[in-house]
A and B are shown apart, each in its own frame.
Chain A
Amino acid sequence: MWLTSERAAPAIYTIALLVFWEAAVWIGNMPTYILPAPTVIAGAIVQYWGPIWKNSLVTLWTTLAGFGLAVVGGLALGLLVGWSKSIYAGLYPLMVGFNSIPKVAVVPILVIWFGIGVVPAIITAFLIAFFPVVVNVATGLATIEPETEDVLRALGASKWDVMTKIGIPRALPYFFGSLKVAITLAFVGSVVSETIAANAGLGHMMLAAQSQFNVPLVFAGLVMLAIEGIVMYAIMAEIEKRTTGWARRSGQT
């Protein structure tokens, strides 16, 4: 039953999609400037490997820089917000309001402040990825069972004790769970910003290719984005799996 085998399934389905795509383009006689076939895209990747590689690295590092800031900032703010009910009540609406602003709309402001380049991309990635980290960490802290907290408080534990002994360990699975979401969003943020205002990166490269009607190169950029996205997601998923064993096995979170 190799068709339904779980290990082989991802590869099989991907290959099936590519074959179907290739066949559809040839049978439908689709012009390359509308939808290039996978083989044509592969050709473009080989042909333009130099610039594709260079721009991929730019996108990768702006994404990771924004993500890194989001993790540090999100963790800090999450701990602060989860620390007390009143800080939570005060900051939560502000954060929701801030998060509901589409980040594309912020990019022009960032360009005014920082000029065209990698800085707006990093900041956009940070802004968009930061929220899920804060919310998850704060949720982990805010949902401590009162009974568990009572166990410590009955012994005369301080707020700090409760936080370090229960709050933070309990929030960790939430934190690591949020990394998957945050890295994906950081990626979206940096590419959006690159597409609007940058002189390097995959988003910028695709925009330039599009203006020259080099559609295979646009698609080559998309493929690189997908690969980068999958790899980063997989790394975060692995980190989550390794760090939160108890939470999965004890049926929590």
Chain B
Amino acid sequence: MYVDLKGVRLEYPAAEPRGEPVLALEELTMGVGEGEFAAVVGPSGCGKSSLMRLATGLRRPQEGDISVAGAPVTGPLSITGMAFQNPSLLPWRTTLANVMLPLEIVRPHRGRLRRHRAEYEQQAEDLLSLVGLGGFGSRFPWQLSGGMQQRANLCRALIHDPVLLMLDEPFGALDAFTREELWQVMADLHAAKKFTVILVTHDLREAVYLADKVFVMSARPGKIIAERKVPFERPRPMDLIYEREFVDLVQDLRGLIADARSGTGAGQRAAA
């Protein structure tokens, strides 16, 4: 497996000296093949974002093994691109400069940036147009709507041509039309660049429409309780989401999550 997590346990230390530590993930095992598009769904607070932090090496697990491309993950990997739940663009940089930020960090771009700036700027502009932000590069993030910021966030994750893309609810804050538009963009990008994707989402249709494989997580402490293959051919037309098989698969996942929330979730309140 390209991304491999085996028996992973992650506990956050207690916030106060006498508080309880938070067990976020336990006995979590999952594998994603090279070039595969995987989606992770689960109840809110079950540890999806934590899972992303582990796989990108931002945090180390207390137990278990994590490897990417056959090598154990011991720290952040620059082959990954990551878009977090919160766009967190830097307000003092223009949108274009924000998108180009990874190029200032990741080798070999870091050393080439000064001499090939025009070329890189063109790449960033192209990427912005691709997500419908053409011409907005010179604006500052606070001049963009929330949805536009989230699109710029996506561009920032892609600019350094990562081979592994980790997306944490990147479309969560968008309206339905924009979201479907960006699903298309994502699907096209995946087809063109053949990167491996792990997408965390709370939108089950999004998971089924985009992914080859959907993982369902239990309530906290999170582990993988089910894995579903998505059989539909690519490219997938947008109308697919109204078809019988598609709806059935979504319903199946919905049932699994409902069980995860009510059944095993000790201390987990069934919030709406």
Contacts and interface: CB of A to CB of B under 8 A. Distances in A.
Interface of A: 145, 147-148, 150-157, 161, 165-166, 169-170, 246-247, 249-252
A213 B188 CA distance: 87
B75 A151 contact: no
A251 B142 contact: yes
B130 interface: no
Interface centre among B78, B92, B160 (most CB of A within 10 A): B92
Contacts of B101: 151-152, 165
Interface in B153-193: 156, 160
Interface residues of B, number: 26
B205 interface: no
Interface stretch (B15-23, B38-46, B79-87, B236-244): B79-87
Contacts of B56: 154
Nearest to B80: A154
B106 interface: yes
Interface in B124-158: 140-142, 156
B102 interface: yes
Given A246-B140, A250-B141, A251-B142, A153 B90 contact: no
28 contacts: A145-B88, A147-B84, A147-B86, A148-B88, A150-B53, A150-B58, A150-B84, A151-B82, A152-B101, A153-B58, A154-B57, A154-B76, A154-B80, A154-B82, A155-B76, A155-B78, A155-B102, A156-B78, A156-B105, A156-B106, A157-B105, A165-B104, A165-B105, A169-B92, A246-B91, A246-B140, A249-B140, A251-B142
Contact of A156 (B53, B75, B142): B75
Nearest to A169: B92
Contacts, number: 65
Contact of B92 (A150, A153, A246): A246
Interface of B: 53, 56-58, 75-78, 80, 82, 84, 86, 88, 90-92, 101-102, 104-106, 140-142, 156, 160
A147 B88 contact: yes
Given A147-B84, A169-B92, A250-B91, A154 B58 contact: yes
Nearest to B57: A154
B142 A153 contact: no
Contacts of A147: 84, 86, 88
B48 to A, nearest CB: 15
A160 B212 CA distance: 39
A152 B105 contact: yes
A137 to B, nearest CB: 16
Contact of A252 (B76, B82, B91): B91
Contacts of A169: 90, 92
Given A147-B84, A154-B58, A170-B92, 12 more contacts: A152-B105, A154-B80, A155-B80, A155-B106, A156-B105, A161-B104, A165-B101, A169-B92, A246-B92, A246-B142, A250-B91, A250-B142
Nearest to A166: B90
A157 B102 CA distance: 9
Nearest to A148: B88
A151 B140 CA distance: 18
Contacts of B106: 155-156
B105 A161 contact: yes
Which of B53, B82, B91, B142: most chain A Cβ within 10 A? B91
